[in-house]
Amino acid sequence: MVTAIITKEEISRANVSKAYKESILNAYEYAQEDEEGYFFDAACKVFRYILELTDELPKEKLNGIIYDDLIDDSASWSEIDTRIVKVIVQHVSKNEDEEYPDFFELSSWLFDRLENVNTDDFASKILNILQEKGLVESERDMILSLVVAHSVILIRNEQTTSFGKIALSYIDEILALVKKEEESEAIYQIYLLLKKEKPEQFKNRFEALLEDMIQSGTNGRYYAIMATEQDDPERALEYAKEESIDKYISTAYRVCFYAKGNAKEKYKKLLFALYKEHGMNTERSKRVLQIWGKEDRLTILEQLKANRK
């Protein structure tokens, strides 16, 4: 029988936020479900460490904890965050044959952690921890490693994060790296970052960024369409049409949704023609309501009814 090395009562008394207590208690209960006891002891050691009941960093590599769930996404940085990050990266190493450490788990945790504190300076905290462990030497090393792992930490909820601000100083190096790795999502994130923070540079790089997206990996065209649905809708439609008719129709809907004034009327006509030619289904019926509104919805559906699939 597994012996608990931390109790729910100890977790409840810990000097951390309510959100952190709840997330740790959920992780604790999940670990208890491990009937064979493979992870429970290891998980409890992590809980004791991050709650400052011990200063001994747990050595076990496997503990069954999903770190993305171990967060308080509204709190400022505190000691518990430092300790969680130290646990996450303790088994990350920088091998001679690898250009960058694997920071996917760290980046994934950061993505959720930054949800409502996206403008706080988390980057300097992370840099200190990674330098202390010898995984990076500079902010350049850190940002390149993090971006290639999970680029969505640069902008969170339309706000440039402290990581995004650092990335602005290394745009050329980041683009060279993510193009080499064929990371189209990362190129899309750089597209959004430059659009928000460096509009003149964005304008000059616009064509190249889109071409790089399309040429990078199997999802490149998907991100190029996302990028241009509002910025260049005709181009988005062109990209989508080259992929498939279903993609063309769904893109026509989004282009119409975002459009204003005369442009909206233009894309309504296009969308109606596509629905008329290719038929209706449940999802397209819902979109009729979103585009034409309650007053015109029934009239539009009646006109399209004969072609319903």
Look at residue 229 and tell me if it is in a domain.
Answer: no
Work out how many domains the chain is built from and give that number. Answer: 2
Q: According to the model, what pLDDT value does residue 36 have?
A: 72
Could you tell me if 118 and 51 lie in one domain? no
- Which tokens is 306 given? 């004969």
Could you tell me if 57 and 133 lie in one domain? no
- Kindly indicate the confidence band of residue 95, based on its pLDDT and cuts at 50, 70 and 90: confident
Look at residue 205 and tell me if it is in a domain.
Answer: yes
Look at residue 5 and tell me if it is in a domain.
Answer: yes
Q: According to the model, what pLDDT value does residue 35 have?
A: 67
- Kindly indicate the confidence band of residue 4, based on its pLDDT and cuts at 50, 70 and 90: low
**Residue position matching structure tokens 């190029």:** 224
Could you tell me if 40 and 151 lie in one domain? no
The answer on pLDDT for 108 being more than 80 is yes
- Kindly indicate the confidence band of residue 305, based on its pLDDT and cuts at 50, 70 and 90: confident
Q: Mind listing the pLDDT tens digit for each residue in 158-194?
A: 999 999 999 999 999 999 999 999 999 999 999 999 9
The answer on pLDDT for 277 being more than 50 is yes
- Which tokens is 147 given? 């971006």
Q: Mind listing the pLDDT tens digit for each residue in 137-154?
A: 999 999 999 999 999 999
Could you tell me if 189 and 142 lie in one domain? yes
Q: Give me the residues paired with residue 280 across strands.
A: 308
- Kindly indicate the confidence band of residue 38, based on its pLDDT and cuts at 50, 70 and 90: confident
Chain centroid to CA 273: 35
The answer on pLDDT for 1 being more than 60 is no
Cβ proximity of 24 and 52 under 8 Å? no
Task: Show which of 216, 240, 274 is a domain's final residue.
Answer: 216
Task: Show which of 216, 244, 263 is a domain's final residue.
Answer: 216
The answer on pLDDT for 3 being more than 60 is no
Which distant-in-sequence residues (6+ apart) come within 8 Å of 250 by Cβ? 240
Could you tell me if 92 and 14 lie in one domain? no
Look at residue 276 and tell me if it is in a domain.
Answer: no
Single-letter amino acid code for the residue at 200? E
- Strand residue runs (E) in the chain: 155-156, 159-160
The answer on pLDDT for 68 being more than 80 is yes
Could you tell me if 59 and 108 lie in one domain? no
Look at residue 255 and tell me if it is in a domain.
Answer: no
The answer on pLDDT for 37 being more than 90 is no
Could you tell me if 44 and 163 lie in one domain? no
Phi and psi based region of residue 286 (left: phi greater than 0; alpha: psi -120 to 50; beta: remaining): alpha
Could you tell me if 189 and 154 lie in one domain? yes
Task: Give me the helices (H) in 168-244, please.
Answer: 171-180, 184-197, 199-215, 220-231, 233-243
The answer on pLDDT for 78 being more than 80 is yes
Q: What is the mean pLDDT of the chain?
A: 94
Could you tell me if 98 and 201 lie in one domain? yes
Structural domain harbouring 4: 1-65
- Kindly indicate the confidence band of residue 2, based on its pLDDT and cuts at 50, 70 and 90: very low
Could you tell me if 170 and 104 lie in one domain? yes
Could you tell me if 95 and 203 lie in one domain? yes
Look at residue 46 and tell me if it is in a domain.
Answer: yes
Could you tell me if 93 and 17 lie in one domain? no
Q: Mind listing the pLDDT tens digit for each residue in 222-259?
A: 999 999 999 999 999 999 999 999 999 999 999 999 99
Look at residue 258 and tell me if it is in a domain.
Answer: no
Q: According to the model, what pLDDT value does residue 98 have?
A: 76
Task: Show which of 181, 196, 216 is a domain's final residue.
Answer: 216
Q: Mind listing the pLDDT tens digit for each residue in 9-30?
A: 999 999 999 999 999 999 999 9
Look at residue 57 and tell me if it is in a domain.
Answer: yes
